[in-house]
């Protein structure tokens, strides 16, 4: 019995020591992460002692209003998405830096209509409130809602090889099964057998109660209403492009359209001001502000602490496992449709949603 107690105490002491070591390690990791997070913006180039600050804000991914529940956890930290509520917080912090100019480097295919419009207003209000010039820049893609947001800037630049444009609005497609005969569920997913196949009506939205019902076609009135809804948003988009870029409305409608252009064509059509690298855009901003001496600051892209990741992921796992099956499916489909599909996964892989 004495041997048992002695062995037990030794094992308990070893396990306790290991546990204490990891707890201390986690606490220190979390402590230093919090210290790092206090430095939201860091010096990247130029004279570190200069009071003439030019900020560079880099944004990547589709534009959405706010993250879903699951995005608040660090499991999806590597997915690039431009969230409006996060940009608000960044700009709020940026105001305390008393910057003299802002360059927004954006690589995005666009986003939801409301988020793109709200992002435009957010940058425009920031520019007016702080009375500073705002330049937009892309080195890859500035399309649709991203270009709409860029219209809030004083100038728009793009690196060689970038794609710019897509001045248009697209609603979701309406796909319906023409006279369904059999609906079956198997190991490989659900399937529908129809008499006349599958038909699709594109770019429509409406105010019907059962809108996008896959078992009936849209009515003529619904098609008209859907088109009007999209057209109204498109008219606002065209109006803003015409006003901001000094381009005739008819030129946008009949010549530019919703195509995506390379930098040379985009400049010829007055969609951008010039082709330039980010370094060159920074120098153009400095020249615009008549700065001989300046410094550049950027957002500190710190990584979450180990303790924060473990706690967040553990809480997410428990919340997910304790939820109902329908809630789990809904959550997975929401991630696939609104967060991963535009970057990694094609929508047709998630027909079960």
Q: How far apart are CA 60 and CA 105, in angstroms?
A: 8
Q: Please report which confidence band the pLDDT of residue 121 belongs to, taking 50, 70 and 90 as the band edges.
A: very high
**Exposed e or buried b for every residue in 304-326, given b needs 16+ CB within 10 A?**
bbbbbbeebeeebeeeeeeeeee
Give which of 59, 84, 61 is closest to 340, Cα–Cα: 61
Residue 54 tokens, joined: 């030019």
Query: What pLDDT was estimated at residue 125?
Result: 95
Examine the pLDDT at 148 and tell me if it is beyond 60: yes
pLDDT tens for 233-270 read 889 889 999 999 999 999 998 889 888 899 999 999 99
Cα 121 to chain centroid distance, Å, stands at: 16
User: Which of the residue ranges 120-134, 216-230, 331-345 would you say has the lowest mean pLDDT?
Assistant: 331-345
Residue 118 tokens, joined: 């709200």
Query: What pLDDT was estimated at residue 119?
Result: 94
Examine the pLDDT at 144 and tell me if it is beyond 80: yes
Examine the pLDDT at 99 and tell me if it is beyond 80: yes
Query: What pLDDT was estimated at residue 112?
Result: 84
Q: What Rg do the C-alpha atoms of the chain give, in angstroms?
A: 26
pLDDT tens for 271-318 read 999 999 999 999 999 999 999 899 999 987 655 444 445 444 444 444
Query: What pLDDT was estimated at residue 79?
Result: 58
Residue 192 tokens, joined: 């529908």
Query: Is the model more confident about 227 or about 68?
Result: 227
Examine the pLDDT at 232 and tell me if it is beyond 50: yes
Query: Is the model more confident about 75 or about 172?
Result: 172
Query: What pLDDT was estimated at residue 114?
Result: 86
Residue 297 tokens, joined: 């600051």
The C-alpha angle 129, 135, 140, rounded to 5 degrees, equals 135
Q: What is the residue-wise DSSP string for 2-18?
A: HHHHHHHHHHHHHHHHH
Q: How far apart are CA 85 and CA 104, in angstroms?
A: 16
Q: How far apart are CA 332 and CA 353, in angstroms?
A: 9
Percentage, residues of the chain above pLDDT 90: 31
Query: Is the model more confident about 330 or about 269?
Result: 269
Cβ neighbours for 267, distance < 8 A, ≥ 6 positions apart: 273, 274, 275
Query: What pLDDT was estimated at residue 270?
Result: 93
Q: Count Cβ atoms below 10 Å from residue 217 Cβ, excluding itself.
A: 14
Residue 324 tokens, joined: 């109902």
Three-state SS string over 286-335 comes to HHHCCCCCCEEEEECCCCCCHHHHHHHHHHHHHHHHHCCHHHHHHHHHHH
Domain boundaries, the chain: 1-38, 41-166+259-322, 168-245
Query: What pLDDT was estimated at residue 73?
Result: 42
First-to-last CA distance in the chain? 60
To 10 degrees, what angle do helices 113-130 and 220-245 make? 20
pLDDT tens for 37-64 read 556 788 888 888 889 999 999 999 888 8
Cβ neighbours for 116, distance < 8 A, ≥ 6 positions apart: 63, 110, 144, 145, 146, 148, 149
Examine the pLDDT at 70 and tell me if it is beyond 60: no
Cβ neighbours for 221, distance < 8 A, ≥ 6 positions apart: none
Domain 41-166+259-322 has CATH 3.90.226.10: yes
Choose from 18-22, 157-161, 299-303 the range with maximum mean pLDDT: 157-161
Q: Please report which confidence band the pLDDT of residue 225 belongs to, taking 50, 70 and 90 as the band edges.
A: confident
Q: Please report which confidence band the pLDDT of residue 204 belongs to, taking 50, 70 and 90 as the band edges.
A: very low
Give which of 211, 230, 226 is closest to 144, Cα–Cα: 230
Residue 49 tokens, joined: 């002692």
Give alpha helix (H) positions in 179-277.
Answer: 220-245, 249-251, 263-268
């Amino acid at each position: 019995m004495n041997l048992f107690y002695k062995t037990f105490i030794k094992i308990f002491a070893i396990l306790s020591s290991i546990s204490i070591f990891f707890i201390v390690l986690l606490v220190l990791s979390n402590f230093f992460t919090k210290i790092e997070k206090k430095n939201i913006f860091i010096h990247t180039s130029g004279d570190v002692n200069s009071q003439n600050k030019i900020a560079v804000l880099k944004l990547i991914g589709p534009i959405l209003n706010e993250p879903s529940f699951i995005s608040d956890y660090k499991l999806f930290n590597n997915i690039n998405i431009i969230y409006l509520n996060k940009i608000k917080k960044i700009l709020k912090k940026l105001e305390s830096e008393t910057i003299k100019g802002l360059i927004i480097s954006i690589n995005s295919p666009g986003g939801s209509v409301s988020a793109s419009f709200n992002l435009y207003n957010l940058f425009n209000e920031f520019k007016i409130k702080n009375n500073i010039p705002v330049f937009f820049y892309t080195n890859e893609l500035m399309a649709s809602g991203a270009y709409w947001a860029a219209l809030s800037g004083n100038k728009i630049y793009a690196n060689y090889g970038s794609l710019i444009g897509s001045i248009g609005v697209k609603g979701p497609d309406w796909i319906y099964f023409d006279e369904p005969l059999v609906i079956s569920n198997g190991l490989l997913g659900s399937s529908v057998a129809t008499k006349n196949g599958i038909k699709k009506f594109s770019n429509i939205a409406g105010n019907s109660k059962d809108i996008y019902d896959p078992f009936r076609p849209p009515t003529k009135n619904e098609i008209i209403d859907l088109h009007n809804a999209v057209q109204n948003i498109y008219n606002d988009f065209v109006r803003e492009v015409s006003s901001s870029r000094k381009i005739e409305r008819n030129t946008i409608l009949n010549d530019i359209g919703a195509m995506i252009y390379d930098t040379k064509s985009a400049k010829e059509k007055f969609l951008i001001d010039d082709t330039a690298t980010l370094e060159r855009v920074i120098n153009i901003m400095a020249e615009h502000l008549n700065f001989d001496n300046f410094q550049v600051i950027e957002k500190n892209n710190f990584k979450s602490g180990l303790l924060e990741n473990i706690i967040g992921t553990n809480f997410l796992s428990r919340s997910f496992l304790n939820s109902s099956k329908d809630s789990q499916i809904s959550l997975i489909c929401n991630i696939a449709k609104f967060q991963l599909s535009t970057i990694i996964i094609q929508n047709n892989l998630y027909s079960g949603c």
